[in-house]
Amino acid sequence: MDIKLKVEEKDVSKAILNSAFKMWMDILEVDVVIVGAGPSGLTAAKYLAKEGVKVLVLERHLSFGGGTWGGGMGFPYITVQKPADEILREAGIKLEEADGGLYVADSVEVPAKLGVGAIDAGAKILTGIIVEDLILKENKVSGVVINSYAIEKAGFHIDPLTINAKYVVDATGHEASVTNTLARKNKELNIEVPGEKSLWAEKGENSLLRNTREIFPGLFVCGMASNAAHGSYRMGAVFGGMYLSGKKVAELILEKLKNEK
Ligand code: 48F
C-alpha cells in the first residue's frame, strides 16, 4: 500500500481556528444551556434538540458521560428500572433482565450512545469548559459565565466569557454546583442548597422526579443536582431516575418555550 498523506502545518491550524471561531460565534446565544454532560444532562439535551431547540451542553471534563463510565465500584454495569428502560432502548442500548424488576446495561455503552443520540439530535456538546457563574439580571438567570477548565485548574486569574440563554439547566450531579453558586453569591435570594442525604435508593429515585423543576426563574435542576438542591437521598448505581429526570426537564422547558411564542 503506497499512500502519500499530504498536509501543510499552517492549513491544520487554519482549519481548526476557522471552525472554532464559527462555532463560538454560533453558540454565544442559545435557547438552553445544560451544565454537565452526565446521564441526566445528555438525556435532556437529546429531547430538547430533537424538537428543534438550540441546545448547548457544557462539560468541564474532556469526556462526556459524568458518573456512568465506572458502573458500580468499577464493575462496568449500571442498572435501570421501568419505565426508564424505554429511554435506553430508544438510544439503541442493550439491556439484560435482572432480579427485582431491574435491567442491566454496559456502563461504557450507555454514555457513548447517549452522547451520540444528543449530538445526532442536534445538540452541541462542548467539553473542557467550566461554568463558574451565572448571568443574573432582573431576578432571572439569563445565561452562564464560562472559563476553560484548564485555566481554572491552573489557578490563573483570567477573566471569563459569557453565553446568553433563555434557560439554564443545572445537571452537575451531586455538587449541584450551579445552584450552589447562585445561592452563595446572592445571599439576598435566600436560596438554600442543603446537599444530598445518605443512600436510600427507592426514596432517592422517586424524589428525583419531584425535585426536577425550575428552582429559580430561568434556572432548572435535573438529575442528582435536583436531589442535592432539595436535601434528598442519593441512590447509588441505579440510573432510571436520571434518565426520566432529564426527559422531564426537557418537557418542562419545551412547555415554557411554547408558551413564550
Ligand atoms: O454526576 P453526573 O453523572 O450527574 P447526573 O446526570 O448523574 C448522576 C449519576 O452519574 C450518579 C448517580 C446514579 O444515579 O447518582 O452519580 O446527575 O454528571 C455531572 C457532570 O457535570 C459536570 C461534571 O464534570 C459531570 O460530568 N460538572 C459539574 N460541575 C460543572 C460541570 C460545572 N460547573 N461546569 C461544567 N461541568
pLDDT of res. 156: 98
Answer yes or no: pTM beyond 0.85: yes
Dump pLDDT digits (tens) for 79-132.
Answer: 999 999 999 999 999 999 999 999 999 999 999 999 999 999 999 999 999 999
DSSP string, 1-54: --------HHHHHHHHHHHHHHHHHHHTEEEEEEE--SHHHHHHHHHHHTTT--
| Structure confidence at residue 1 as a pLDDT band (50, 70, 90) | confident
Atom of ligand 1 nearest to the CA of 39: 6
Which three cell numbers, joined as nine digits, stand for 190?
435566600
Atom of ligand 1 nearest to the CA of 61: 24
Residues facing 170 on adjacent strands: 35, 221
Q: Which residues line ligand 1 (CB under 6 A)?
A: 35-41, 58-61, 66-68, 130-131, 171-175, 177, 223-225, 234-235, 238-239, 242
Dump pLDDT digits (tens) for 200-229.
Answer: 999 999 999 999 999 999 999 999 999 999
**23 CA to centre of own chain:** 19
Task: List the end-to-end C-alpha distance of the chain, in Å, as a whole number.
Answer: 59
**Minimum CA distance residue for ligand 1 atom 29:** 172
The Cα 231–Cα 193 span in angstroms is 7
Dump pLDDT digits (tens) for 169-180.
Answer: 999 999 999 999
The Cα 82–Cα 240 span in angstroms is 7
Contact 30, 162 (CB under 8 A): no
Dump pLDDT digits (tens) for 10-69.
Answer: 999 999 999 999 999 999 999 999 999 999 999 999 999 999 999 999 999 999 999 999
| Structure confidence at residue 148 as a pLDDT band (50, 70, 90) | very high
Atom of ligand 1 nearest to the CA of 68: 10
pLDDT of res. 72: 97
Instruction: Report the DSSP pairing between strands 29-35 and 55-59.
Output: parallel
The Cα 150–Cα 60 span in angstroms is 9
pLDDT of res. 104: 98
pLDDT of res. 143: 98
Segment 133-146 mean pLDDT: 98
Contact 224, 173 (CB under 8 A): yes
The Cα 249–Cα 148 span in angstroms is 27
Is residue 261's pLDDT more than 90? no
Rounded mean pLDDT of the chain? 97
